[in-house]
Amino acid sequence: MIAPKKVVITGASGRIGYQLVFLIAQGLLLGADQPIILCMLEKESNQQKCRGIQMELEDSIFPLLRAVHYTHDLDCAFTGADYVFFCGAKTCHDPKTRALVQAENWEALTLQGETINRVCSHQTLFLMVANPCNTNTLALIKAAPNIPPMNFHSMMRLDLNRARQFIAEKAQCLSQDVEHMLIWGNHSPRVVPDWSHVKIMASPISLLVDNNWLSSHFIHAVQKRGMAITQNMGLSSCASAAYAAIEAMKALIVPTAQNSFFCTGMYSSSNPFEFDQDLVFGLPCRTITRGVYEICEDYSPHPLLKELIKCSEAELLEERARLKK
C-alpha cells in the first residue's frame, strides 16, 4: 500500500491554481501509482469557491485522489505537506501602486514562511509561481531559516518552454529536439535566454539557426511573450503556467538524465558565476536525488549576454532592497 503524498496549492481558486489542481489530481506530477491528498489554501473570502472546486474534483473521480481539503488556516495547510505550490498573490498592473502591492504580498508570504518554518519537514519542496516569483521565493527563504534554502524554487520553466519553442519553430523541428537551453536571472521581461550551449538533434545550434536572429529577435520574443499573451487574451498566462509548474516541480523530484540539466530559480549562495550570493536567480542545475541538486558549473553564460544578465540581476537587487524595508 503506497502512502499518499500531500500537495498544497495556495491561491487555489485563482486562474493558475484552478488549472493546477486538476493536473495534479490526474497524476501528472507524481505519476500513475502515487495516491494524493490535495489541500487548497485560500483566504477566508474564497472558501466557498474552494468548496466548488472540491465538488468538481469529487465529480471527476480521479483514481489517485484520496482526499481534498480546503482551509484558510496556515498550520492546517502546511502541516505534513510534501509539495507546496504558491499561486496566491495580489496582482497589480499599475506601476504607481506596484510597490505597495508587492509589500502586502511579502508580508503575507512572511507569515506563510514562518508557519512553514514551524511545521514543515526538511523534505518538503516548495515552488513559487506567483509573481514576482524570484523575490517572493527569497521572502519565504528568509522567513523559514530552519528549512534548507535548496528546497525553495521559483518557476523559470515557462521561460524555458517558450525559448525552446521559438527555436524549434525557427529550426523547423520539435521543441523536445532543442536541448541545453539556459535561462538566467529573473522571471520577468528582463529574463535572459541563452542559446550558446543549445543542440538540436545533437547538432550545434549554429548549424541550423542564424546568430543574428538569436541575438536580437529571439531574446526579445522570449522576454515579451507574457505581455503578448496578455495583449491578445486580456489575461496573463494560465494553462501554460500551470503546466510549466508541474514540469518545474518534477525536475526537482526525478534525477536528471546524464549530460543534461534544467534551469530553475534557486538560492544563489555559492554560485560559481559571480552573481550576487543572496538572490533567487535562474541557474542551470541537475537533480541528483529527490530535492538534492547541484549547479552545473560547466555551462557559463554567453559573453554577449553578460550585460543583459547584469540588468536582470540589478532588477532582483532592487526588489530585494524593497523586501528588506
Burial 19-34 (b: 16+ CB within 10 A, else e): bbbbebbbbbbbeeee
Tens digits of residue pLDDT in 55-113 = 999 999 999 999 999 999 999 999 999 999 999 887 766 666 667 777 888 889 999 99
Residue 284 grid cell: 542551470
Worst-scoring range by mean pLDDT, 95-109, 266-280, 290-304?
A: 95-109
% of the chain beyond a pLDDT of 90: 87
Domain boundaries for CATH 3.40.50.720 within the chain: 5-154
Where are the CATH 3.90.110.10 domain residues in the chain?
156-324
- Classified as helix, coil or strand, 263 is strand
What digits encode the pLDDT tens for the residues 99-109?
A: 777 788 888 99
Q: Name the phi and psi angles at 288, rounded to 5.
A: -90, -50
* Dihedral Cα 236, 239, 245, 248, nearest 10 deg: -110
Alpha-carbon span 5 to 30, nearest angstrom? 9
214: DSSP letter:
I
Architecture of domain 156-324: Alpha-Beta Complex (3.90)
The 10s digit of each residue's pLDDT in 134-153 is 999 999 999 999 999 999 99
Distance from C-alpha of 219 to C-alpha of 126, rounded to nearest angstrom? 29
Q: How far apart are CA 125 and CA 249, in angstroms?
A: 8
- The closest alpha carbon to 90, from 104, 72, 77, belongs to 104
Model pLDDT, residue 92:
60
The grid cell for 76 is 492546517
- Residue type at position 94: D
Task: Determine the pLDDT at residue 93.
Answer: 60
Q: Report the pLDDT value the prediction gives residue 1, as an integer from 0 to 100.
A: 84
What contacts 240, CB < 8 A, 6 or more positions away? 158, 161
Asked whether the predicted pLDDT for residue 5 surpasses 80, the reply is: yes
**What's the CA gap between 89 and 237, in Å, rounded?**
15
Average predicted confidence (pLDDT) for the chain:
94
Question: H-helix or E-strand containing 108?
Answer: helix 98-119
CB burial of residue 169 (10 Å; 0-12, 13-18, 19+): exposed
Higher pLDDT pick, 20 / 104: 20
- For residue 294, the tally of other CB atoms under 10 A from its CB is 12
Predicted confidence at residue 291, as pLDDT, reads: 86
List of residues 6+ apart from 191 with CB closer than 8 A: 156, 159, 183, 184, 185, 222, 223, 282, 312
For helices 306-324 and 98-119, angle between their N-to-C axes, nearest 10 degrees: 80
Which CATH class for the 5-154 domain? alpha beta
- The annotated binding site for NAD(+) is made up of 11-17, 105, 129-131
Q: What is the DSSP letter of 195?
A: -
Residues with active-site annotation: 187
Q: Per-residue pLDDT averaged across 219-239, rounded?
A: 92
